């Protein structure tokens, strides 16, 4: 099994990640830290700090290197693929996205801009993978399989809004929940070597049991499967974001908890660690600009800062959020010295969560939210034309640290 080692050199102003492979090879990736303030950082933290601030992608392995073929279902803008690609880079190998499928064209445009030679398909997954588990492949499925051929790793993030605690209307019974089974159906017909599926923790409580049925289906196909809930802050993401993870393999047996213990960071990363350098970034374009707030919301933000408060008092909240409201973090201010709360697609609005900036009279910018979601600065969002689309794709994404670590284990 692989393992990571990190070395920091103050004299050379560099930090190096060394991945030790089971065959004895060592693959090194060195980043120049330049004038970054890293004296208080351990070497692992220094590497991630530098990685997040890179303006250019890391150097890819040579074209003669081994290629892993990936399919990303419900791909969004590519958080899972970014982690898988970096895991391949770290091992001196390459990732080829033979199919990235999503119904949102704006999300797919960003995906195509960031992954060379990727084959992106603007489809509803359920209309492409449209057969029932246990039946022969349909015409649509056969056509799709011809395009993708062999698959080394399947990445999937089925829509989670139906299970989310923010969905009070159809939670656990939402029709979107059954899309999870489309992933198991793909496993049945394409037989990828390895599988990684992420979702919200509440997926385990679905009354339709779609997640458990999917796991059972993969086990019947003789996959080794493990599932668990993980807190991404333990992996170095500067955000308390819990996700439900399923990993499966036809050739290896894994323990999610053992992998987490192996890759847990020495100390959690704070919001300040991630975004302090962006406090006064010029608001050039929608990526670096905060939202325009009403005078009422500006008054609420001023109150928080002037009173060194982090939670808004009842009398300043809208009537619907008063008297023991269910979501006390709404209109809240972020603490600089801790990981943030979960970043959602509503981060531009103070009424959607704890998204008021720690030191500035505003909410987070998309750039700051992207950093907290572990998107490095070289990840290109420039094709996005609206703030609504930008906030949705960033908030719905999966921090690449998760797929990086688990793909490092799966693909080693």
CATH number, domain of 294, equals 3.90.120.10
Tally of structural domains, the chain = 3
Quick: pLDDT tens for 375-410: 999 999 999 999 999 999 999 999 999 999 999 999
Q: Report the range of poorest mean pLDDT among 113-127, 157-171, 178-192, 362-376.
A: 157-171
My answer on whether 109 and 240 are in the same domain is yes
My answer on whether 194 and 291 are in the same domain is no
Averaged pLDDT, 291-309: 97
Quick: pLDDT tens for 248-261: 999 999 999 999 99
| Residue positions annotated with a catalytic role | 160
In a domain, 57, yes or no: no
What is the predicted pLDDT for the residue at 337?
97
My answer on whether 232 and 280 are in the same domain is no
Quick: pLDDT tens for 22-43: 899 999 999 998 777 776 789 9
My answer on whether 258 and 304 are in the same domain is no
My answer on whether 368 and 406 are in the same domain is no
Task: Reduce the secondary structure of the chain to three states and give it as a string.
Answer: CCEEEEEEECCCCEEEEEEECCCCCEEEEEEECCCCCCCCCCHHHHHHHHHHCCCCCCCCCCCCCCEEEEEEECCCCCHHHHHHHHHHHHCCCEEEEEEEEECCHHHHHHHHHHCCCCCEEECCHHHHCCCCCCCCCCHHHHHHHHHHCCCCEEEECCCCCCCCCCCCCCCCCCHHHHHHHHHHHHHHHHCCCEEEEEECHHHHHCCCCHHHHHHHHHHHCCCEEEEEEEEHHHHCCCECCEEEEEEEECCCCCCHHHHHHHHCCCCCCCHHHHHHHHCCCCCCCCCCCCCCCCHHHHHHHHHHHHCCCCCCCHHHCCHHHCCCCCCCCCCCECCCCCCECCCCCCCCCHHHCCCECCCCCCECCHHHHHHHCCCCCCCCCCCCCCHHHHHHHHHHCCCHHHHHHHHHHHHC
Quick: pLDDT tens for 55-76: 999 887 776 679 999 999 999 9
In a domain, 380, yes or no: yes
My answer on whether 43 and 117 are in the same domain is no
My answer on whether 101 and 246 are in the same domain is yes
In a domain, 59, yes or no: no
Confidence of residue 207 (pLDDT cuts 50, 70, 90): confident
My answer on whether 239 and 197 are in the same domain is yes
| Per-chain mean pLDDT for the chain | 92
My answer on whether 40 and 168 are in the same domain is no
My answer on whether 189 and 307 are in the same domain is no
My answer on whether 372 and 316 are in the same domain is yes
My answer on whether 220 and 111 are in the same domain is yes
Residue 12 lies in domain: 3-52
């Amino acid at each position: 099994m692989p393992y990571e080692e990190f070395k920091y050199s103050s004299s050379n102003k560099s930090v190096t990640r060394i991945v030790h492979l089971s065959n004895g090879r060592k693959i090194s990736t060195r980043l120049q830290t330049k004038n970054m303030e890293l004296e208080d950082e351990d070497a692992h933290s220094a590497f991630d700090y530098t990685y997040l601030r890179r303006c250019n992608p890391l150097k890819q392995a040579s074209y003669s290197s081994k290629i892993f073929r990936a399919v990303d279902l419900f791909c969004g803008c590519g958080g899972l693929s970014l982690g898988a690609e970096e895991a391949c880079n770290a091992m001196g190998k390459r990732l080829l996205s033979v199919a990235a499928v999503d119904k949102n064209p704006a999300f797919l445009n960003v995906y195509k801009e960031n992954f060379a030679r990727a084959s992106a398909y603007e489809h509803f997954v359920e209309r492409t993978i449209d057969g029932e588990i246990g039946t022969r492949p349909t015409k649509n499925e056969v056509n799709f399989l011809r395009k993708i051929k062999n698959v080394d790793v399947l990445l999937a993030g089925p829509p989670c809004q139906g299970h989310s605690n923010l969905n009070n209307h159809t939670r656990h019974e939402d029709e979107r929940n059954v899309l999870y089974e489309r992933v198991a159906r793909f496993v049945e017909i394409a037989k990828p070597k390895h599988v990684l599926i992420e979702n919200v923790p509440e997926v385990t409580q679905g009354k339709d049991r779609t997640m458990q049925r999917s796991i059972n289906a993969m086990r019947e196909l003789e996959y080794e499967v493990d599932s668990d809930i993980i807190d991404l802050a333990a992996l170095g993401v500067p955000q308390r974001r819990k996700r439900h993870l399923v990993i499966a393999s036809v050739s290896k047996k894994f323990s999610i908890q053992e992998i987490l213990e192996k890759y847990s960071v020495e100390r959690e990363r704070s919001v300040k660690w991630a975004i302090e350098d962006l406090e006064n970034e010029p608001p050039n374009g929608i990526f670096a600009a905060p939202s325009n707030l009403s005078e009422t919301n500006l008054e609420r933000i001023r109150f928080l800062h002037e009173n060194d408060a982090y939670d808004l008092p009842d009398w300043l909240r809208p009537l619907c959020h008063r008297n023991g409201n269910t979501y006390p973090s709404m209109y809240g201010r972020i603490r600089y010295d801790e990981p943030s709360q979960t970043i959602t697609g509503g981060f531009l609005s103070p009424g959607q969560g704890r998204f008021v900036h720690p030191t500035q009279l505003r909410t987070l910018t998309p750039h700051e939210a992207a950093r907290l979601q572990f998107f490095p600065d070289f990840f290109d969002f420039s094709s996005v034309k609206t703030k609504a689309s930008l906030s949705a794709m960033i908030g719905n994404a999966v921090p690449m640290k998760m797929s990086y670590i688990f793909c490092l284990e799966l693909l080693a």
